[in-house]
Amino acid sequence: MIPWVQLDSAKTGDGAQELRLKRRGSEFSIMLGTNELMNSRLSGSEEALARLSCQRISGHRQPRILIGGLGMGFTLRAALAELGKDASVTVAELVPAVVAWARGPMADVFGGCLDDPRVTIQETDVGQSIRSGPAAWDAILLDVDNGPEGIVHKGNDALYSLAGLGAARSALKPGGVLAVWSQGPDTGFTRRLKQAGFAVEEVNTRANGKRGARHVIWIATNSPRS
């Protein structure tokens, strides 16, 4: 058995916890304490986040996509595969080290997607990007934590509050989509999405195709305001 080797570590956005990048052969893992946040062998639900979102906005011209959380690039790569040449994708990543890992030890995992001319990387809180202007985005994809109840950075909770969801809806164009990845279901979050005025679809998916842990993706559409 090949042992895990820690390559680097970095503080979370609030400085309260530590992320650790580990490698075992060609396999990578990002850990928070004893919790594995992501693994390079398990990409199915993150890819589904992008695929489902892009399908919902397939009729939009020159779509602008905001992805919250770079991770291991699974969502970004899947979005680029779905989108045409006229699209633009902005990735907001709060921890600079995660971007450095993507360009360094995990470069093979990312497969050059950071160099795609459609991609812009912002080392910032995705909440700031959401609040940058009204009707700015065709889709906002959030995979910044383990779901609506943040464990990595408590500041993420504001994204999933009623006020945060209202800000996301204001940032979306009519017919735009807010898509949120979660480790598991959350009936309270579904209720808040509806309270914020979204039309909500809850999709169950798996971490590795038809296998692996069960995850949830909310697809919330910005319906016309009454």
pLDDT at 207: 65
Residues whose CB falls within 8 Å of the CB of residue 164, separated by 6 or more in sequence, listed in order: 127, 158
pLDDT lower than 50: segments of the chain? 151-153
Residues whose CB falls within 8 Å of the CB of residue 174, separated by 6 or more in sequence, listed in order: 135, 222, 224
Identify which of 56, 37, 202 has the alpha carbon closest to the alpha carbon of residue 140.
Answer: 56
CA separation for the pair 101, 104 (Å, rounded): 5
Domains of the chain by residue range:
41-220
pLDDT at 142: 94
Tell me which CATH code domain 41-220 carries.
3.40.50.150
pLDDT at 212: 65
pLDDT at 213: 73
Is the Cα torsion angle 81, 119, 198, 163 positive or negative in sign?
positive
- The radius of gyration computed from the CA coordinates of the chain, to the nearest angstrom, equals 17
pLDDT at 175: 95
pLDDT at 91: 98
pLDDT at 100: 98
pLDDT at 205: 84
pLDDT at 209: 62
CB 54 within 8 A of CB 83: yes
